A and B are shown apart, each in its own frame.
Chain A
């Protein structure tokens, strides 16, 4: 029998759909009889949605196509020239900073 603590620990997994079928059934049975856990899971869902709203809206000022083309030009201007002598040779994937 799941406790409220058990359900609370899985609340994020539940709202993200990351709970297996059997566990999901057990949790939903508990939620049917526990208002506290129903409210908590709802709070986690609202929290998840609000944090996704935040990441969607932050820094999302539109940039015109001309500015983006200029940015791409600036990137290519800074990129090191291609070293054609290395074509086809594998090197270890380096940690890039």
Chain B
């Protein structure tokens, strides 16, 4: 941890000094993942690229205020997420932990906790496979697009390189338990969509 803090402190100092080479390294390392994330959140590649550029400008403009309470990557993604939400005029819907998730566990079990209907064994699923007239990837994309904001955000961040569970907690200011519950619910929804297509 101390080693990470030292290298990150040096990185931040270089960014405050507007070191172009150091910034370029950071830019090349994170921009592809940021564009992927923003593209999925906005469903618009061109808008995503603009948001990522705006984010980098804000990073350099405000890097002197970064105190290291979260990791630098978490801070960068927090800026990107704020800009994405502002631009798309979405508000993060607060997901009640008491609310039953869609197509969820609660409906699938009898009073003794056993499956009402046993889950089927799926045939091998690859992203390119055609199921019910659509590529598996299209089904997954559509299911992700329909997720509530927090579930979608966490699912996408989880699949983005470089962000650990702790960094997602820091970025969204929610507990690790909340992250895991939202992630599970998101996966349940995508799983339900795939299961329906395979039926």
A: residues with CB less than 8 A from B are 3-6, 8-9, 11-13, 18, 35-37, 39-40, 42-44, 46-48, 50-61, 63, 68-69, 71-72, 74-76, 78-80, 82, 86-87, 90-97
Contacts and interface: CB of A to CB of B under 8 A. Distances in A.
B5 interface: no
Given A4-B113, A18-B180, A72-B20, A51 B190 contact: yes
Contact of B28 (A57, A68, A95): A68
B190 A56 contact: no
B120 A90 contact: no
Contacts of A12: 180, 183-184, 187
Interface string B55-70: 0111011101111010
A6 B79 contact: no
B82 interface: yes
A23 B187 CA distance: 21
Nearest to A53: B127
A94 to B, nearest CB: 5
Contact of A75 (B35, B53, B191): B53
Given A18-B180, A72-B24, 17 more contacts: A3-B114, A4-B114, A9-B184, A39-B122, A51-B190, A55-B156, A59-B40, A60-B35, A72-B20, A76-B18, A76-B60, A79-B18, A90-B67, A93-B65, A93-B67, A94-B65, A96-B58
Q: Is the interface of A mostly helix, strand, loop or mixed?
A: helix
B187 A51 contact: yes
Interface of B: 16-18, 20, 23-24, 27-28, 31-32, 35-40, 45, 48, 53, 56-58, 60-62, 64-67, 69, 78-79, 82-83, 86, 105, 108-109, 112-115, 118-122, 125, 127, 136-137, 140-141, 144, 155-156, 158-160, 165, 180, 183-184, 186-187, 190-191, 194-195
